[in-house]
Amino acid sequence: MDNTTCLYSLFICAVESQLLSFALYGKISGEKGVFHFMRMEDLQMLMNSGEYLDLVQNIKQEIQSAQYRAALNVNRELICLYYDIGSAINEHKTWGNKFIENLATDIRLAFPEAKGYSVRNLKYMAKFALRFPNFEIVQAALAQITWYHHIALMDKVRTAEEHIWYADQAAGNGWSRNVLVHQIEIGLYQRQALAKKIANFEERLPSPQSELAAQTMKDPYVFDFIPFKEDMMERDIEQALVKDVTKLLLELGTGFAFLGNQYHLNVGGDDFYIDLLFYNLNLRCYVVIELKTGEFKPEYAGQLNFYLSAVDGILKKDRDYPSIGLLLCKSKNDLVAEYALKDMSKPMGISAYKVTSSLPEELQRQLPSIEDIEKRIQRE
């Protein structure tokens, strides 16, 4: 049991003990400082009452909030400290590499139990301070994620702008370091922040809804968690996406809630089926996604426009914004896609997608399938 758990348990015990004391010596009335005596059976009823359970739940939330704020403050101080040390090292860089080695040794002698002051980490501190000359940016944007996140960013991204963008995404989405590294490796910044996006959000949605929708969109989408096959049909891709919906939601971005695949809509007695239906909590609207295995065709936009009209008419509530459509194709001609969207009445975007593995195709063929591995395990 760690220190946080111990403190939490002691705190709850203290609360219960305090309530027990109130029960033995008096019950709190509606007036402050006024107590009435309580019998033990009344105490049991109190401990099982909704009022008491709500009290405990509120206290738990307060503890969690305080722990989170404390962790943020500790992390912020650490990031600022490392920045200050890095700045000091850069100011004396003319002293040579031995300077950093001696500094690491002297810090270790002065603080033998402290970690994080190796030669390697001191060099990272210097690199961090050199990348961000403005300390206000460090305090405001970069202190929200851990130092290990920053090390990954310093290793894998080249510019301060890209570093800040990924740091903001990691903080906003609660990414672990491993998730951050994965997003960098599949080029999220290039696909989401820099890509030219084919959409009519600006013309069909009010501000700031249009900006939020555009920021959410990517081109292309990368579904690298799907086992790739040359003859994959639309339904095969759809089922593979749904099978690992957690990774699908990670690729789509923050705020998406999965509602179903082949989602049934009855329009005037006719049946229609949406490939993938989501609700985005940040955009406060339904999101309809249609998958196509080939190149984009203009008639696909018309079909999606109809689905959006149906969703708005059947599912959308007054508090919801207009539904948004996303058409994902294996490839697209950008000019054709732009013309196709010009006269569409509903907000939608058109993106390409990739169903690829990080391994070369030749190496993939050499690897055993999941079925082969399971058979081998059973034999052993």
Distances (CA, A) of 144 to 149, 173, 247, 338: 10, 11, 24, 38
Q: Enumerate the domain spans of the chain.
A: 18-70, 78-192, 197-362
Question: What average pLDDT score do residues 118-128 get?
Answer: 96
Could you count the other beta carbons within 10 Å of the beta carbon of residue 262? Answer: 13
pLDDT of residue 57: 82
Give percent of the chain above pLDDT 90.
61
CA torsion, points 244, 250, 253, 255, in degrees to nearest 10? 70
- State how beta strands 256-267 and 35-36 pair: unpaired
- Spatial CA neighbour of 210 closest among 344, 351, 348: 348
Question: What average pLDDT score do residues 18-34 get?
Answer: 45
**pLDDT tens string 198-250:** 999 999 999 899 999 999 999 999 998 887 676 678 888 888 888 888 899 99
Angle between helices 160-173 and 177-185 (to 10 degrees): 130
**pLDDT tens string 304-339:** 999 999 999 999 999 999 999 999 999 999 999 999
Which fold is adopted by the domain 197-362? Answer: Trna Endonuclease; Chain: A, domain 1 (3.40.1350)
Paired residues of 294 in beta bridges = none
Could you count the other beta carbons within 10 Å of the beta carbon of residue 120? Answer: 10
DSSP assignment of 266-303: EETTEEEEEEEEEEETTTTEEEEEEEEEEE--HHHHHH
Q: How confident is the model at residue 9 (pLDDT cuts 50, 70, 90)?
A: low
CA 171, CA 175: separation in Å to the nearest integer? Answer: 7
Q: How confident is the model at residue 356 (pLDDT cuts 50, 70, 90)?
A: low
Asked if the model's pLDDT at residue 33 lies above 50, the reply is no
Q: What is the mean pLDDT of the chain?
A: 84
Distances (CA, A) of 147 to 138, 157, 160: 12, 15, 16
Asked if the model's pLDDT at residue 293 lies above 80, the reply is yes
Question: What average pLDDT score do residues 30-43 get?
Answer: 54
Q: What is the amino acid identity at position 213?
A: A
